A and B are shown apart, each in its own frame.
Chain A
């Protein structure tokens, strides 16, 4: 990265926009070339949304709570003590009370190395069991406020402006912009980094990219604010990617990402982190957690989803190696599932769930949060895991301790942030 900013601008202008038509905002895309060394690197947050309401009770299993086994006669994960009769396919003990689903075996070494923390019985205090409302509430960090449509991470970006502006500060690896990043601050939705480029047009006009220049100047002059803004972010990102030539990526340290949505997404996040394009907030999502039927136990649908989830986290951690020192991965899901299995060996919609925090900034090796218990009188509305950690206290801890938000109270409308309520999973 020894290229000068001046060289960058000049060559970018020539290749993409044609002589004499360098748009003024191109000035902003030189971020990558102005990062002298790792010490200037910023912290990175990777938010993973598990859409569909992941079953926290079968993910981080409270095998020490006797009620767990009576609530789930056909889908419970056998306790670690039953290792011999279950051929090793049991809960993987974390602390004598909680354990990992066996599909998450790959995460055990990260937990032991204190890179992975769990927050259990966490979620939204709102009682909705609608996926879509609950997702919106979590993404806006405004439970119960249906009119709120700006995402909490966008509000963070807005609250804490950056000296060095880059189009890659916030990137969702999704085709459509998630609510988490909707709002006034720029953010990209980039489903596939490799194909994020404007197609050359030589068969029409014998030139490469001059159509892009015209597209660009049309969108620069449009009175349509949504399109104008989206286009500006898109052109900046495409120009930077073209200059950086990020097309092919080889994961480092022998990391192997699993096939599937999350593996693909995290690999691209790793690629952007390693390319030093100024990524600070990344968003990935993985669906397929809504197991009303035949959820399975040690094997089955949830086991498969968890294997993909765990393997993707492990690969990401391995790939980034010591870069993980500045990276925090935080998982979330709109709510958990009912404590009792339903009539079809599945689980219906529930309440509190589980969040994962992985990375260098994590005080790992611990399951955080107070356990509310699964006894009849302890369940929320008589059916679900009760809530003991408001997800906003988790988000706020991330915003304050990891992202160093300038004014954390603007990020959480109608919610007062008290560091005394932080679970303390970050250093």
Chain B
């Protein structure tokens, strides 16, 4: 069965050249249900960051429906052990203004940085040293949650929405705003209503700053400012920048956050949406960033958005009306559903699944919990078309290997560094699009090399702050023979047996090995059973099978 299952549906680029008989085969894979054991593996691979040793039996015992229900209600799950691990990261509970205060970018340092930037034009390294700590701690939090949280689906969804609403930490004060964005804007809403999530992001200082909406204004704010008084809570030096419309957020709001690029909007809609959102702004973004509506910046004329007339005088309501129109637009249901199906089922999910998910989105008014439930109970989700079809992202590689081997980690810099080398440097993607959730994104020679090096260093306990206790991770039986080690580690890590080729390659490598004292060989199992375990584990973590979920 592996031959079929482990061959992923062809990458996007290959589809066009496929003979039609194979297309039919790919289609029929969506109609082939999985066996009971594979169904459990599938659920664990998608709803969590990968199975821990005990998870398979637990889910089998409780039943898949109960497991899905459990994960859809994270508030009912105790996560005290995780909270304890996070307690050592002080920035996580601070407000943005506390972070700005305690992790400053000193004026002097800022000036130096400006000089260095002028010379280098660097972007990713724009983060000042002390402030950098804030972003690093947030990255550590994400890894710790992925590895240890009992609320796995919640954390999977946090990553999904953080990517959907991607924000680059290198843009000005966003490095201090991301902590609150993740904690206060995204996490509490990942299983709520889409519109609530959208409004929260629209009003978050992080998004307001990142996509420049806080500076966008109606056509003549200066006249108002002359007639009235200067806009409140705004550094005087920045007022001169507010002299009209900025399309940045209005465009990405439709293209990336809601309708999708082919969702049926025009350049004029971009302008009209941006006009509706004028006055949605920030007070003191570099001191105490706070969202508020400033009527003096708002364009109060009549507007027309996607065919909806928006009457003059709507004030802050214009923006809310736009977000409502977008949240309830059929293109949004389709776009968000497609992305969810891509995350949970396959890079190119079948139309039947997307349509059903999309209908559920519309029927429930964008209830994300209900939408996910329909996905996790769909026949396509538990079919061969979906099984092991997804390439793991770097975070998924890191989290799934640590979970399977019961590793202890502090998610330190070296571990985060590996994520960057595998192609997913946290919060460092400059574009608002987020990463494309496709195999191609994560499969390059650079990325694969980093994956193999990660496997090697992790298994040999050479990643600082991360430890695997080999005496606990595997049974005595696994240590007794090379075949035992390979099979147990394969099961632990991939919840399947390796392909014949992979298994043969590993056993061949071990059996041909010279004694450990000579160069060039793996330690033979007979000399000391446990000595070979890390090597076998490295090979399984680096195997083609483990790269997919």
Contacts and interface: CB of A to CB of B under 8 A. Distances in A.
Interface of A: 18-19, 51-52, 128-133, 146-147, 149-150, 172, 174-177, 182-184, 188-192, 196-199, 201, 203-215, 217-228, 230-231, 233-234, 237-238, 258-263, 287-288, 290, 292-294, 304-305, 307-309, 342-346, 348-349, 381
A138 B386 CA distance: 32
Contacts of B333: none
A225 B7 contact: yes
Given A204-B460, A206-B516, A343-B244, A308 B449 contact: no
Contacts of B112: none
Contacts of B267: 129, 381
Contacts of A222: 6, 499, 501-502, 544
Contact of A188 (B256, B445, B519, B523): B445
A376 B358 CA distance: 44
A131 B433 CA distance: 9
A205 B7 contact: no
B431 A344 contact: no
B243 interface: yes
A176 B439 CA distance: 11
A290 B217 CA distance: 19
25 contacts: A18-B521, A177-B443, A190-B445, A190-B446, A199-B456, A201-B535, A203-B462, A204-B456, A207-B519, A211-B509, A213-B509, A217-B501, A218-B542, A219-B544, A220-B501, A230-B448, A234-B445, A234-B449, A260-B120, A263-B120, A288-B121, A288-B123, A305-B121, A343-B241, A344-B244
A175 B456 contact: no
Contact of B242 (A220, A263, A344): A344
A217 B12 CA distance: 26
A195 B445 CA distance: 12
Contact of B520 (A204, A208, A221, A381): A208
A307 B121 contact: yes
A151 to B, nearest CB: 9
A224 B7 contact: yes
Interface size range of chain B in the complex: 35 or more
B147 to A, nearest CB: 22
A210 B453 contact: no
A221 B502 contact: yes
A120 to B, nearest CB: 23
B120 A308 contact: yes
A238 B443 CA distance: 16
Contacts of A210: 509, 513, 520-522
B121 A231 contact: no
Nearest to A227: B544
Interface in B167-219: 212, 215-217, 219
Nearest to B391: A226
Contacts of B328: none
Contacts of A206: 516-519, 521, 523
A226 B8 contact: yes
Interface stretch (B31-39, B68-76, B93-101, B247-255): B247-255
A150 B10 CA distance: 13
A114 to B, nearest CB: 27
A292 B509 contact: no
B238 to A, nearest CB: 9
A292 B212 contact: yes
Contacts of B86: none
B423 interface: yes
Contacts of A211: 456, 509, 522, 535, 538-539
Interface string B90-124: 00000000000000000000000000111111111
Contacts of B535: 201, 204-205, 211
Contact of B122 (A18, A177, A261, A292): A261
B213 to A, nearest CB: 10
Contact of B443 (A51, A208, A226, A344): A226
Interface of B: 2-3, 6-8, 10-14, 16-17, 116-124, 212, 215-217, 219, 240-248, 251, 255-256, 261-262, 267, 270, 391, 420-421, 423, 430-431, 433, 439-449, 452-453, 456-457, 459-460, 462, 499-502, 504-506, 508-509, 513-514, 516-523, 531-532, 534-535, 538-539, 542-544, 547-548
Contacts of B532: 205
A290 B240 CA distance: 20
A343 B216 contact: yes
A290 B444 CA distance: 26
Secondary structure class of chain A's binding surface, majority of residues: loop
Contact of B539 (A199, A214, A309, A343): A214
Contact of B544 (A131, A133, A228, A238): A228
A176 B502 CA distance: 26
Given A149-B12, A222-B499, A344-B242, 16 more contacts: A129-B270, A188-B444, A190-B445, A198-B449, A203-B460, A205-B516, A208-B519, A214-B508, A214-B509, A226-B440, A237-B445, A259-B121, A288-B121, A293-B246, A304-B117, A344-B246
Nearest to B462: A203
B251 A176 contact: no
In the A-B complex, list the 4 residue pairs whose CB atoms are closest, starting with the nearest.
Answer: A343-B244, A221-B501, A308-B121, A259-B120
Contacts of B8: 224-226
B396 to A, nearest CB: 15
A230 B456 contact: no
B431 A287 contact: yes
A72 B243 CA distance: 13
Contact of B118 (A175, A209, A227, A307): A307
Nearest to A197: B449
Nearest to B452: A215
Contacts of A238: 449
Contacts of A259: 116, 119-122
A214 to B, nearest CB: 4
A198 B121 contact: no
B285 to A, nearest CB: 12
Contacts of B423: 175-176
A333 to B, nearest CB: 14
Nearest to A236: B445
Given A201-B456, A205-B513, A293-B246, A234 B119 contact: no
Contacts of A261: 121-124
Contact of B444 (A230, A263, A294, A309): A230
The residue among A18, A147, A305 with the most chain B CB atoms within 10 A of its own CB is: A18
A215 B447 contact: no
B431 A218 contact: no
A19 B520 CA distance: 9
A160 B544 CA distance: 31
B449 A343 contact: no
Nearest to B118: A304
A229 to B, nearest CB: 9
A338 B7 CA distance: 46
A199 to B, nearest CB: 5
A221 B438 CA distance: 23
Contacts of B2: 223
A199 B518 contact: no
A307 B117 CA distance: 10
A294 B241 contact: yes
Nearest to A234: B445
A205 B459 CA distance: 12
Contacts of B248: 290, 292, 348
A131 B509 contact: no
Contacts of A199: 453, 456-457
B548 A224 contact: yes
A210 B439 CA distance: 28
Contacts of B12: 149
Contact of A230 (B116, B445, B513): B445
Contact of A344 (B17, B124, B216, B462): B216
Contacts of A129: 251, 267, 270
A149 B13 contact: yes
Nearest to A308: B121
A342 B433 contact: no
Nearest to B523: A205
